[in-house]
Amino acid sequence: MTDDQLLRYSRHILLDEIGIEGQQRLLDAHALVVGAGGLGSPVALYMGSAGVGRITLVDDDQVDLTNLQRQIAHNMARLGQPKADSARAAVAALNPEVVVETVAQRADAALLDRLVRAADVVLDCCDNFATRQAVNAACVRHGRPLVSGAAIRFDAQLAVFDPRDAASPCYACVFPPDSTPEEVRCATMGVLAPLVGVIGSLQAVEALKLLSGAGPSLAGRLLMLDARQLEWTTLRVPRQAHCPVCANR
């Protein structure tokens, strides 16, 4: 670690749970972020500022004026640009040492199979059920921990699914692939601007803990937030023995 890095990451290094060894693990790590919008913005910014050495951002959308209410990695000057490229520029402005790779296409099964295999941790910041299931399936297949976040209106949730832990459920254990829920999107339902910042920041917390070894993760629990009342609820979520995705892992 260089002198500049020791100074830049000094507040991490001062933490007994991280220290120099944990920070070096962050510098050597590769995070895959699926979605560079409301959740992906704080995730990318905090993972980059914390010194995660390599970040891959996947998003097939472009920056729109309606995004700027909550997607803090983007700005007026980058309207019309691919969101992944805009988020890369935002990370570079904070920490130019971080290598940020962008993929401006939809995260289908074939792409995820390649990208998840190469990552140390995966952060699901997307906004649709089918992609979440595809991300989860790839993480189970390649044994990669998944940090999942979601937010709509005043409600949000956070979970960690870690296939390296035999007791940990996967996303499909909690949200079965055949449940076909009604899709809810910010474009039609709305979302409180800071809510995605809260959940995205907590996704970054969980990912940094997983990568640095700083402490136990949220695996096995589902954390839910009702921002109207500012009430948190935690549910224990067991692994399902007959889950169609992880039963045979």
Angle CA 181–236–232, to nearest 5? 80
Residue 243 has pLDDT above 90, yes or no: yes
On whether the CB atoms of residues 25 and 1 are closer than 8 A, the answer is: no
Instruction: Read off the pLDDT of residues 102-118 as tens digits, 9 standing for 90 and up.
Output: 999 999 999 999 999 99
Whether 139 is a known active-site residue: answer: no
Query: Mean pLDDT over all residues of the chain?
Result: 95
Q: What is the model's pTM? A: 0.95
Residue-wise pLDDT tens digits, 166-197: 999 999 999 999 886 666 666 678 999 999 99
What is the percentage of the chain residues whose pLDDT exceeds 90?
A: 93
SS3 16: coil
Laid out side by side, the sheet with 121-124 consists of 99-103, 54-58, 30-34, 121-124, 146-152, 155-161, 221-226, 231-236
> Rounded CA gap, 191 and 151, in Å?
7
- What average pLDDT does this structure show over 157-171? 96
Among 170, 176, 168, which Cα is nearest to 141's? 170
Mean pLDDT on 64-69: 97
Measuring CA to CA, how many Å separate 181 from each of 146, 153, 177?
Answer: 21, 17, 9
Domains and CATH numbers, the chain: 3-236 (3.40.50.720)
Nearest to 150, CA basis, from 176, 177, 119, 171: 171
The Cα 75–Cα 69 span in angstroms is 10
pLDDT in tens, 3-28: 999 999 999 999 999 999 999 999 99
Choose, from 126, 139, 173, 186, the residue flagged as catalytic: 186
Instruction: Please state, as a whole number, how many other Cβ atoms lie within 10 Å of the Cβ of residue 195.
Output: 20
Give residue 189's pLDDT.
83
For the stretch 19-52, pLDDT in tens is 999 999 999 999 999 999 999 999 999 999 999 9
